[in-house]
Chain A
C-alpha cells in the first residue's frame, strides 16, 4: 500500500504566521487530497486534486506538489485554522491517509 508520511506531526504557529506542512508518498501519486478535522468533529474535505480549495475554504490556504511530495500552506495563520490536517491518496488501492499534522495556535 502507498504509505503517506506527514510532517511535522505537531506544529504551532502564531497569528499571521505562514504555515507549511508536508505529505510524502511512498509511491508516486497523481493527486493529493487534504482534510481538516477539529476535535470531536468529522473530517472536512479541504483541498482536492492537489491544489483546488473545497467550497468555503479560505483563500489563505493553498496546496501544491507532484509525484511523491505534496504540501499544504497557510499564508497567514488564523485562530480558526488550528486543527489536524490529513492528506489522502487514491491513485492506487487501498485508499490511504497520512497520520495527520496537528496545527496549534501559539
Chain B
C-alpha cells in the first residue's frame, strides 16, 4: 500500500533554513508527481508545489518561489522540501502528498510540524 512517511517535528530559529523529508513506499516513486501543502490555523491549505521524481521537474506556486525548494532522491525514494529565510509565517504543518492523476492528491503523509521561534 502507498505510504508517505515524513520527518519529525522541527523547532528552528528565524532566518535559518530547514529541510523536511517524505519517504515513499508502496508505489513506483519515479512515476508520479508528489506535492507539498502548507496548513496553518486560520489560513487553510496552501499548495506549495510539485515535483516529478523521475525527471526532477518541479512546478511551484508563485507565492512560494524563493521560499521552497523541492528535490527528490530516486535511490532512496525520498522527496525533500527545503524552506529558507524562515519567519514566524512559516510556522505550520507541512504535508507531502502523491497524485496519480495530476489534478488532486490521492495519498498524504502524516504531516511535519514546523515551529519557527527564537
Do A and B bind?
yes
In the complex, the answer to whether B47 meets A97 with C-beta atoms within 8 Å is yes
How many chain-B residues does the 8 Å CB contact rule pick out?
23
The docked-state distance in angstroms from the alpha carbon of A33 to that of B103 is 9
What are the residues of chain B within 8 A of A42 when measuring CB–CB?
Answer: 95, 108-111
The answer, yes or no, to whether B45 is at the interface (CB within 8 Å) is: yes
Q: Which of B24-79 contact A (CB under 8 A)?
A: 35, 37, 44-47, 59, 61-63
| Given known A42-B110, A42-B111, A43-B95, contact A94–B104 (CB-CB < 8 A) | no
Asked whether A94 and B108 contact (CB < 8 A) given A33-B103, A100-B44, the answer is: no
Question: Beyond A42-B95, A42-B109, A42-B111, is A96–B47 a contact (Cβ under 8 Å)?
Answer: yes
Check if B108 sits within 8 Å of A43, measured CB to CB: yes
Task: Return chain B residues, CB-CB under 8 Å to A90.
Answer: 102-104
Total count of chain A residues near the partner, CB < 8 A: 20
**Do A97 and B104 touch (CB < 8 A)?**
no
Interface positions, chain A 43-91, Cβ under 8 Å from B, are 43-45, 48, 54, 86, 88, 90
Question: A95-B47, A97-B44, A99-B44 are contacts. A33–B104 as well, Cβ < 8 Å?
Answer: yes
Which residue from chain A places its CB closest to the CB of B108 in the assembled complex? A42
Shortest Cβ gap from B65 to chain A (Å):
11
Task: Please state if B103 and A86 are interface contacts (CB–CB under 8 Å).
Answer: no
Most buried by A among B47, B61, B105, B108: B105
Verify A95–B61 contact, CB threshold 8 A.
Answer: yes
Knowing A48-B104, A88-B104 are in contact, say whether A43-B45 is a contact too (CB < 8 A). Answer: yes
Most buried by A among B35, B97, B107, B108: B108
Q: Which residue of B lies closest to A84 (CB)?
A: B44
Contact at B46–A97, with CB atoms within 8 Å?
yes
Q: Is B106 an interface residue (CB 8 A)?
A: yes
Choice from A31, A33, A86, A94 contacting B61 with Cβ under 8 Å: A94
Complex CA gap A43/B44 in Å reads: 11
What residues of chain A have their CB less than 8 Å away from a CB belonging to chain B?
31, 33, 35, 42-45, 48, 54, 86, 88, 90, 93-100
